[in-house]
Structure formats: C-alpha cells, structure tokens
Amino acid sequence: MPFSFSEADIERIETILGVTAKKDDSMARFELSDEDSGRRITLEIHHKVSSPGLSEGDFTNLVSVYAPASFLQLQGCTGFKGSEDLGEILFVARSGDTANGLVVERHAGCSLYANVDTNLLSTDFTQLAPELIMSSVALSITEDLFGDLG
C-alpha cells in the first residue's frame, strides 16, 4: 500500500517541529522561524495531489520548503522519520535504486539530498569518500521504512 500522510503523522510533525500546522483537507503548512539566526522557512505537505501520470483515484505526496532565497520540493514522498531530540524531520522519496531526502529542522534549517544510490545506505560509512558520508548516513535511517526495496 502506498504511503499517505495521516492526521497522526501531521500531529507528530507538529510536535517535533514545535509549531501548529495550518491545515485543510489536503495540505498542512508549518511556518518555522529562528530568532537567533533570523532564518525563516515554510514547510508545506500536500498529501492528496493528483497528477496526469497517476491512475484515477491515486494520489501522491508533495513536500515543499519555501525560504527567502530558495524553494525546494520533494515529489512522491514515500515516508518520513522524525526525531524530537534533534528537532528534525527527514522526508524521503525512494524509487528503484535511488533515494531523495529533504530534512527540515525546528530552527528553520533545511537540507536536500538527491539521487543517492540506495546501496550506499547500508555501506560501511568509513569506507566512503567524505563527500558521500552525510547523505548516506542521513538517508540510512529510513531503510526500515522500505523493507526489501533496496
């Protein structure tokens, strides 16, 4: 069964990010700011997006981050992991042999990891080139979301 954001998922994200979402039937919007750094971003989760490439009645998940100088979007989100201790949510879109991840931080930070080879997620990180370590470690925490897809 394809992943879909539930009301409980949105509530968990609210708890981790420390902000209440503005919601409607198909979207949750989180406005985050950090006074110390002056950063501010807006996270939107669209969880009932229809597309011409999808069968009738099928939907996809769209996660977008709006920042003063950038816009990031993760299409086809297939799951997420969150950490209250770190104050972070990692949204992931996995397809075939690649994974993409969008990390949103409680303190209005954001990181994107794109087209990461899923074989790297279970590799001994000490054997990787330094440039590959951060994305591999970050996305490796989502492996249990996907069973035998990788």
pTM: 0.84
Residues forming a β-bridge with 42:
31, 66
pLDDT, greater one: 64 or 133: 64
Per the structure, how many domains does the chain have?
1
**CA end-to-end distance (rounded Å), the chain:** 17
d(CA 92, CA 94): 6
Q: How does residue 122 score in pLDDT terms, banded at 50, 70 and 90? A: confident
Report CA-CA distances (Å) from 103 to 40, 59, 80, 89, 122: 15, 22, 10, 6, 19
d(CA 31, CA 86): 18
Whether residue 1 is contained in a domain is answered as no
How large is the average pLDDT for residues 23-48? 93
**Cβ atoms of 137 and 82 closer than 8 Å:** no
Question: What domain range includes position 83?
Answer: 7-145
Rg of the chain over all Cα atoms, to the nearest angstrom: 15
Q: How does residue 95 score in pLDDT terms, banded at 50, 70 and 90? A: confident
